[in-house]
Structure 1
Amino acid sequence: MFTGIVQATCEVVAIHKKDGLNTLEVAFEPDLHEGLAIGASVANNGVCLTVTQVVDDMVFFDVVEETLRLTNLANLSIGQSVNVERSLTFGSEIGGHILSGHIHTKAKVVDISHTEQHYDLTLGIESKWMDYIFYKGFVGVNGCSLTVGEVSDSGFKLHLIPETLKLTNLSQYKVGDELNIEIDSQTQVIVDTVERVLARRFNEQAR
């Protein structure tokens, strides 16, 4: 489990590609990999990955074909940075929202509005996922727990504060790039349950 509070942006220093599998080699700061063991879970751009090897400051992660298909990790190149968060430990302060590290879909950056007063991202997403995204609700974007701004049938807006831009890689993305999206699992359960109950009642009344 994760909180959506990114701890660091870490550079991808190598990508070892095999059939159906990419191994990412990511450079961690010493304090970030302290006590990190093989088998530990770490979120990279919001994707929960398992540590397979630790060599000095380099941490290795295997990314299987299904994960490459569903996330933007397939689009990484050497020198890019990923948002990193280590898994939540008992007794830790939860400053964001609970995330699982399981990405539901990707959103495309359709507009960037950057002025001295604000930095706004407008994201386009498959319409079926908009059932779970609400104004002033929250969503996981590349592993960042963020508050949703204006919504439409096909996307939503994010209003990013300078601290978020400083601590994450979101300012590196351009129009047309894709971001990993994790919706709130509780919201999904509530919406799906209500829809199922209403559908059942409608069918019963129609008999």
Structure 2
Amino acid sequence: MFTGIVQGIAVVEDVTAATGLSTFAIRLPDDSADGVNIGASVAINGTCLTVTRQAGNTLFFDAMQETLRLTTLGDLEPGHSINFERAARIGDEIGGHLLSGHIHTTASVIEILRPENNVTIWFEVPEQWARYIFPKGYIAINGASLTIGEVARNRFNIHLIPETLRATTFGAVEEGMKVNIEIDSQTQTIVDTLARLGYDSQASKTTNLGLASS
């Protein structure tokens, strides 16, 4: 389980591809890997991966073909920067919202606006996931817990302050890039429950705007 509060930016040192499997060597900032055990979970751009080996601040992870297909991890190359978060512990402050580290889909960056002192980024998701996206609701993008701004069909935006841009890889995002998306589990449960009760997707959105962002 994760909180969606990115703990820093790590760097991909090496990617070793084999049949149906890729092994990533990822170097965390100094002291960020202290106390990591083999088998521990770490979110890499929001994707929960298991530590298989450690060499100082460099952690090694294996990703199966299905993970590579469903996420952006298959596009990672040596030198790329990623967001990371170590698994939450009982008693940790939950500053974002609870995440599983299981990616639902990817989104494309379609527009970046840079008004003074902040950045607004527009994303586009596959149509089938738009039903879970609400203004002021939660969403996790590359492992960061964020509040949704505006929504227009299967497009939505987020507003980022300078601290978020500094502490995550969003400061280097470019149009055309793809990002990992984890839908808020509470929102998904509400929408799916209402659908089973016979409400259409538009009615679900109208009825539950407040619930989705609670």
Q: TM-score when scaled to structure 2?
A: 0.91
Query: Residue type matched to 2:169 in 1?
Result: N
Aligned pairs for 1:18-37 within 5 A: 18-37=18-37
Kindly provide the amino acid, as one letter, of the partner of residue 2 in structure 2: F
Match of 1:15 in 2: 15
C-alpha displacement of 1:50: 0.2
Compute the displacement of 1:56 (Å). 1.6
For the 8 Å contact 2:141–2:179, the answer to whether it is kept is yes
Could you tell me how far apart the structure 1 residues matched to 2:118 and 2:84 are? 25
- Bigger mean CA offset, 41-50 vs 168-177: 168-177
Maintained 8 Å contact 2:32/2:57: no
RMSD: 1.0
Give, in whole Å, the separation in 2 of the partners of 1:14 and 1:70: 21
SS of the aligned residue for 1:130 comes to helix
- For 1:43, the equivalent position in structure 2 comes to 43
Provide the residue aligned with 1:62 in structure 2: 62
Q: SS at 2:198's partner residue?
A: helix
Distance 2:30 2:172 in 1: 24
Spell out, residue by residue over 1:126-177, the C-alpha distance to the aligned partner (whole angstroms, 9 max, x if none).
Answer: 1221111110011000000000000011210010111110000012221111
Aligned to 2:204: none
SS in 2 for 1:66: helix
57-66 vs 169-178, which moves further: 169-178
Which amino acid in 1 is paired with 2:141? V
Q: Does 1:142 align with 2:145?
A: no
Corresponding residue for residue 210 of structure 2: none
Structure 2 residues not aligned, in runs of 5+ = 200-214
Sequence identity (%): 49
Task: Measure the CA separation in 2 of the matches of 1:37 and 1:20.
Answer: 25
Aligned partners of 2:176, 2:73: CA distance in 1, in Å? 15
1:31 CA displacement = 2.1
* In structure 1, distance between residues paired with 2:110 and 2:30: 36
Where do 1:163-174 residues align within 5 Å?
163-174=163-174
Shift in Å, 1:122:
0.3
- Letter of the 2:148 partner, please give it: V
Aligned partners of 1:73, 1:181: CA distance in 2, in Å?
Answer: 12
* Map of 1:202 onto structure 2: none
Larger radius of gyration: 1
Q: How big is the shift at 1:190?
A: 0.9
Runs of 4+ deviating beyond 2 Å: 115-118
Letter in 2 for 1:119: V
- Gaps of at least 5 residues in structure 1 are 200-207
Q: 2: CA distance between counterparts of 1:102 and 1:23? A: 18
> Residue 179 of structure 1 aligns to which amino acid in structure 2?
V
* Letter in structure 2 aligned against 1:120: T
1:73 paired to 2:92:
no
Q: Give secondary structure in 1 for the equivalent of 2:197.
A: helix
- Residue 60 of structure 1 aligns with an amino acid whose one-letter code is F
Q: Tell whether 2:130 aligns with 1:130.
A: yes
Distance 2:173 2:73 in 1: 14
- 8 Å contact from structure 1 (residues 127, 155) kept in 2: no
